[in-house]
Amino acid sequence: MTEKEYYLLPFDFTKISGKEVLVNELGDMIISPKGTVQKIVDRTLPKDDLYKSLVANFFISEQILPPLIEVYAERLREKKRFLESWTGLHIFVLTLRCNQNCVYCQASSQNEESKGCSMSREIMAKSIELMFSSPSDAITMEFQGGEPSLVPDLIEYGIQLAEEKNKEAGKEIHYVLCTNSINLTDRMLDICKKYGVVISTSLDGPEFLHNSNRGKKDSYEKVVAGIAKGREAVGKDKVSALMTTSVEGLNYPTEIVDEYVRLGFHAMFLRALNPYGLATHNDNWDEYTDRFIDFYKKAFEHILELNRQGTYFVEEFAAIVLRKMLTPYCTGFVDLQSPAGVINSVLIYNYDGGVYCSDESRMLAEFNDYTFRLGSVNDRYEDLVFGKRAKEIANVWANEALAGCSDCALKQYCGADPVRNYSTQGDMYGNRATSLLCRKNKAIIEYLISLIIERYDEVMPIFRSWVS
Amino acid sequence: MTLIIDKSVYNDSVISKVVYWMSGDYKIVRTSLDEFSEQIELIATKAESSESLVEEKFFQLLNDFKLRQIVADETRDIKTILYAKAFAEDEELSEEDIHD
């Protein structure tokens, strides 16, 4: 090797707010003047503070092998720690029956009286066997639908089976009920209280908007009552809510945030529509994506303002990205992982016995597309997660190896999503140049970085409080 | 619009990456003129920008991807060592595994 003053270490870069943003393999970020990368490559970088920072943060090395290579490797391992524990989130789709009529339903729900679309006890038992086959020490059993609170007996049966099985397995086990909270009966809440079930509900914003989205006149009133009832039963911190930004919702960024604050929540996830189920009827995803990005920024500015005024309130998507950016740790959020969250972090047991690699993939199955069906609950765990279909998905689940992602500086904060690629672009590999998910994620991550660059003193205390 | 790219300055991999990212907004036709030059024809498929802006963006991307290529080429071995140390079991790699 020729004599060089220093050696390069792997990093990527992008340009934001007139600066060059350098991101290394660990997700560490250095903001530098334009032209820095050229100087680094040309070896014309002066030995100033920036140089020292580049050495200290694994962007360049004064020795061919960095003296702290073991620390470097350990930090990389920490960033991918989610892989070690394998599948932790196990989603049980108990029924497609639902008592709402949401305009954007992504779960292909059926009406409340429908028959033949609920999980049998036999399928529940087999699904639990599979869940306990996962080597993960900590597992989450999440009940979804349709509306899972319509089948409380099945939920209790599942929890009791899991508790029994766990006497031997000794795993850390959490239960989550994803419910619209429309009809949280005493029976359902007793189960939640008895087994420490966390309630995750959905609220789209102020009354007029929520009711319009749900296709019901009294949905808001019932959900708010359900939230209060749930809080009383299991504790305030055990009830969270999730919003989905319908096309109409795009017009009300501050009103939606204010509604969450008014109801006593300390966090919200500004979530875009997913192109599954009824949501596919949205006729202009290009326009929706651009409008959502604008919506996100307006809502986020309002959240920053609330925090500045002393109200602690977190935007969850930003918090996940910021955790990746500002801490040495990985996050458990399956949509922003590489390798992707599918299979690695989540498995779905559908009401009909099908096993899928993500929540979205079972939604595709409701439209007779079984591309992401790994097998059935009658299969062996190993055959499901190491089977032919799983291997096909694994070929395209790391953004480090995907065109358009592999040399993107933001890949450390983003994730691979073969199911979304398939559903929106027709193949699992996807094309980042035309991907709306890429456009959205990139715009939001770049926006967060621009805030750090342009308004550091103002936003960093808030961001640090969110990730600590 | 048509651009002529010097292939001795920007290699095929770098040009391909720029074409990939521009393909969301343009239909792109690549024609090799000779050993040293390539013609790139861009036909707008969405809202059209001014030719000077498109040209500026194209060459900006070329320069950025060329820099990325240099970093990737120079760090290929250390990246392998890093990932092996982080994830492979009993993988003993040292600086002798880094090639010039």
Interchain pair B71, A72: CB under 8 A: no
Q: How far apart, in whole angstroms, are the C-alpha atoms of residue A132 and residue A83? A: 17
Average pLDDT over residues B68-72: 97
The per-residue pLDDT for B90 is 61
Using CA atoms, how far residue A208 sits from A29, A218, A260, A262, in Å, is: 42, 10, 14, 15
Q: What is the pLDDT of residue A282?
A: 63
Q: Where are the alpha helices (DSSP H) in A236-312?
A: 253-262, 285-308
> Which pLDDT does position A1 carry in this prediction?
39
Under CATH, which architecture does the A82-376 domain have? Alpha-Beta Barrel (3.20)
Distance CA B72, CA B49 (A): 32
What pLDDT, on the 0 to 100 scale, is given for residue B93? 66
Mean pLDDT in runs of 10 for chain A (468 residues)?
76 98 97 97 94 96 93 94 89 88 66 80 98 95 93 97 97 96 93 96 94 88 95 95 93 98 96 72 83 98 98 98 94 90 94 94 90 97 94 95 96 96 94 96 98 98 96
Q: Read off the DSSP letter of residue A31.
A: E
User: Is the Cβ pair B24, A433 closer than 8 Å?
Assistant: yes
d(CA A330, CA A82): 7
Round to whole Å and give the CA distance between A11 and A412: 10
What does each C-alpha distance from A41 to A234, A291, B34 come to in angstroms?
57, 39, 29
- Chain centroid to Cα A123, Å, comes to 27
Nearest Cα of chain A lies from the Cα of B54 at a distance, in angstroms, of 16
Which secondary-structure segment (H or E) carries B43? strand B37-44
pLDDT of residue B98: 66
Distances (CA, A) of A192 to A118, A120, A159, A201, A231: 20, 21, 10, 13, 11
Portions of chain A given CATH number 3.20.20.70: 82-376
Residue B89, chain A, CB below 8 Å: the answer is no
Question: What per-residue confidence (pLDDT) applies to A2?
Answer: 40
Q: How many CB pairs under 8 A join A and B?
A: 77
Q: Which of B68, B73, B97, B98 to mutate to test the interface with A (most CBs of A within 10 A)?
A: B68
Which chain A residues are within 8 Å of B17, Cβ to Cβ?
407
Element (H, E) at A241: strand A239-242
Cβ–Cβ below 8 Å for A10 and B94:
no
Residue with tokens 């391992």: A77
In whole angstroms, give the CA distance from residue A377 to residue A384: 9
Check pLDDT > 70 for residue B89.
Answer: yes
Residues 6+ apart with CB under 8 A from B98: A1, A64, A65, B77, B78, B81
Residue A108, pLDDT score = 65
Phi first, then psi: give them for residue A221, nearest 5 degrees: -55, -45
Query: Measured in whole angstroms, how far is the alpha carbon of residue A218 from the centre of its chain?
Result: 30
Three-state DSSP state, A286: helix
Q: Please state, in angstroms and as integers, the Cα–Cα distance from residue B2 to each residue in A376, B28, B51, B60, following that order.
A: 54, 10, 9, 16
Tokens encoding A103: 């305009």
B46 — pLDDT class (breaks 50, 70, 90): confident
Measured in angstroms, the CA of B92 and the nearest CA of chain A are apart by: 12
- Reported in sequence order, the residue ranges of A134-193 that DSSP labels E, i.e. its strands, are 138-144, 172-179
**Rounded mean pLDDT, B75-96:** 84
